[in-house]
């Protein structure tokens, strides 16, 4: 039997939420390919948690002290479980706790017929960090290997809608060989979003030991498997 990984874990003064291991990308630099652990916590889930499991895990984490924000950011794409994201965001908003979504920006493709950004804004989401990772669709498909066609366009549209709904929005790109970081920054500027480049992290047997800036060892600076936080 697989041991259940952590649903909530701490890093960088925040609480991070790991609600699924499923993702609609297969990024060439995905941390999941070479580790189970972030900040010393295994994020490999035996079963996906329900909203009540997540809020219980958050309550337990707050017993250890305050957190700057609570971030949906684990070993998978959170909006594959939009119902859980919305329920937990509402629960946190009621408690006046800042919330952030780290996402690959595929939410509309994953939830057809749902006005995803509107419902996220209504639930009280404060911020979104969206993994752009490429300045053009060809490079995006090459390195992020999305299950959807025209995903790059969907990512940009998702970020644009977040900005329009007043959600604090940051686009990120991993500094992968061949990535046009200046082009990614220009897309973010055009949308009115912030931009952050993230260092490429090689596997542990190569020089360095983190990817997307996400922490493998407890002493490392935090990042996330979406290349987002």
Residues found near ligand SF4 in the complex (CB under 6 A): 23, 25-27, 30, 32, 76-77, 104, 131, 225-227
Strand partners, 194: 170
Q: Where are the beta strands (DSSP E) in the chain?
A: 8-11, 14-17, 37-38, 41-42, 70-72, 99-103, 127-131, 168-174, 194-198
Q: How many CB atoms lie within 10 A of CB 107?
A: 28
Give the ranges where 80-218 is alpha helix by DSSP (H). 82-94, 107-110, 116-123, 137-144, 151-164, 181-191
Q: In the complex with ligand SF4, which residue's Cβ is closer, 99 or 172?
A: 172
Q: In the complex with ligand SF4, which residue's Cβ is closer, 98 or 145?
A: 145
CB of 24 to ligand SF4, least distance (A): 7
Strand partners, 101: 72, 128
Q: In the complex with ligand SF4, which residue's Cβ is closer, 11 or 225?
A: 225
Q: In the complex with ligand SF4, which residue's Cβ is closer, 91 or 102?
A: 102
């Amino acid at each position: 039997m697989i041991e259940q990984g952590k649903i909530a874990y701490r890093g960088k003064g925040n609480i991070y939420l790991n609600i699924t291991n499923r993702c609609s990308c297969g990024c060439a630099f995905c941390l999941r390919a070479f580790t189970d652990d972030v900040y010393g916590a295994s994020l490999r889930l035996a079963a996906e948690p329900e909203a009540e499991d997540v809020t219980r895990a958050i309550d337990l984490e707050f017993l250890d002290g305050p957190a700057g924000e609570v971030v949906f950011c684990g070993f998978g794409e959170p909006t594959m479980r939009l119902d859980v994201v919305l329920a937990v965001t509402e629960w946190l908003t009621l408690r006046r706790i800042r919330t952030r979504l780290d996402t690959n920006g595929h939410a509309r493709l994953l939830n057809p017929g749902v006005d995803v950004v509107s419902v996220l804004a209504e639930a009280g989401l404060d911020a979104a960090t969206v993994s752009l990772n490429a300045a053009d669709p060809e490079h995006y498909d090459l390195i992020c290997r999305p299950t959807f066609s025209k995903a790059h366009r969907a990512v940009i549209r998702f970020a644009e809608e977040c900005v329009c709904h007043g959600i604090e929005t940051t686009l990120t790109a991993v500094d992968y060989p061949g990535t046009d970081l200046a082009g990614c920054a220009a897309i973010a500027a055009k949308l009115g979003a912030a931009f952050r480049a993230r260092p490429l992290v090689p596997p542990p047997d190569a020089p360095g030991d983190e990817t997307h800036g996400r922490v493998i060892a407890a002493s490392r600076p935090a990042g996330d498997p979406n290349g987002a936080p």
